[in-house]
Amino acid sequence: MSSHDSPITFLGLEEQWSGLDRSQAAIIPAPYEHTTSYGKGAALGPKAILEASCSLELYDEELDREIYRLSNGIATLPPLQFSDKCRDADAVELIFNSVSGLINRGKKVVCIGGEHTIAIGASLAHSQSYHDLSILQLDAHSDLRDEYEGNRYSHASTMSRIYEKHEHIVQVGIRSQCREEADFIKQKKINTFYAFDIKGRRYGSGQYAWHDAVIDALKQNVYLTFDCDFFDPSLIPALGTPEPGGFGWDETIAFLRKLTLHRNVVGFDVNELAPVPHLIHPQFTIAKLIHKLIGYMFIK
Ligand SMILES: [Mn+2]
């Protein structure tokens, strides 16, 4: 297959394994970036991740399977198109409608951002379709400002917009917020697992005791919104808003494996990767995360 003729598919899968009709997993690139406040480049994330995915091994040694076969194929949709004049609310609606359409066709949807704003439409589409649902946010930031720089759809307000429509949110890895957000969390009794509590072993003496504490806080169905800055910037330096003291690969993957064993992960998004020229490991790592998580979701 010539990469010049065909759009990039996740893993470089040929039509036989990437057609939408047969595939139970569907990837939808949402290269939306409008409100970034610090480093820019999240609009380039989806393309970089899809390109990097073509270098992944199709076989996964942990699952002892080719993951794309577990889901009977993985479809990659054309990137959503956002014009320069596209208002944030319109972008949220476009993502909501696109994701809803795929859920209604029975697909498990993976939305690749783009800035965190893309999670509003993607998570609320799942909220509309699934009962008994928690929205799980892995992130360095609580994103609970009511507005930021005058914008209610800022990446820093994503979880406030989600909370207005779906109150059962669980936050993990938080290590940067303002007082307004801290007060909001206390007032609304939001289940926030701060990084300093996790690393201080507040949830038990075992290294991964926090995994069980987080899973216990979740309902049976889980939608995951994964901000790449959950990872430590030493692992993923390609971020708009990097925060030290983040999480490593092994503990994150072990958590996701356990999560899928104990809860029904109905869909997820990955957001905020801002590629750096000539630095390839961030997008490769995130592509592998997506691949692993699809495998965990579909293996029986
Ligand atoms: Mn963040």
In a domain, 199, yes or no: yes
In a domain, 4, yes or no: no
Determine the distance separating the centroid of ligand 1 and the alpha carbon of 140, expressed in angstroms: 5
Determine the distance separating the centroid of ligand 1 and the alpha carbon of 229, expressed in angstroms: 5
In a domain, 5, yes or no: no
Show the low-confidence residues of the chain (pLDDT under 50).
1-3
Backbone angles phi, psi at 192, to 5 degrees: -115, 120
**Total tally of structural domains belonging to the chain:** 1
Determine the distance separating the centroid of ligand 1 and the alpha carbon of 142, expressed in angstroms: 7
Pair 50, 76: CB distance under 8 Å: yes
Determine the distance separating the centroid of ligand 1 and the alpha carbon of 202, expressed in angstroms: 22
In a domain, 64, yes or no: yes
Residue type, 147: E
Cα–Cα dist 281/25, whole Å: 24
Q: Which CATH number goes with the domain that contains 289?
A: 3.40.800.10
The pLDDT value recorded for residue 73 is: 98
The pLDDT value recorded for residue 5 is: 57
207 contacts: CB under 8 Å, gap ≥ 6:
251
Q: Which of helix, strand or coil describes residue 193?
A: strand
The pLDDT value recorded for residue 91 is: 95
Q: Which residues of 147-166 are buried (b: 16+ CB within 10 A; e: fewer)?
A: ebeebebbbbbbbbbbbeeb
The pLDDT value recorded for residue 238 is: 96
Determine the distance separating the centroid of ligand 1 and the alpha carbon of 163, expressed in angstroms: 16
The answer to whether the peptide bond before residue 173 is cis (omega within 30 degrees of 0) is no
Burial group, residue 126, by CB count within 10 angstroms (0-12, 13-18, 19+): buried
Determine the distance separating the centroid of ligand 1 and the alpha carbon of 31, expressed in angstroms: 16
The pLDDT value recorded for residue 6 is: 67
Burial group, residue 124, by CB count within 10 angstroms (0-12, 13-18, 19+): buried
Residue among 228, 220, 204 at smallest CA distance from 283: 228
In a domain, 123, yes or no: yes
Range of the domain at 111: 10-298
Residue type, 85: K
**Element counts in the chain: helices (H) and strands (E):** 11, 10
pTM of the model: 0.96
217 contacts: CB under 8 Å, gap ≥ 6:
134, 170, 191, 193
Cα–Cα dist 280/176, whole Å: 27
In a domain, 1, yes or no: no
The number of angstroms, rounded, from the C-alpha of 79 to the middle of its chain's C-alpha atoms is 16
In a domain, 34, yes or no: yes
Residue type, 276: V
In a domain, 2, yes or no: no
Pair 137, 159: CB distance under 8 Å: yes
pLDDT digits over 122-161, tens only? Answer: 999 999 999 999 999 999 999 999 999 899 999 899 999 9
The pLDDT value recorded for residue 38 is: 74
Determine the distance separating the centroid of ligand 1 and the alpha carbon of 123, expressed in angstroms: 16
Give me 298's structure tokens: 């579909």
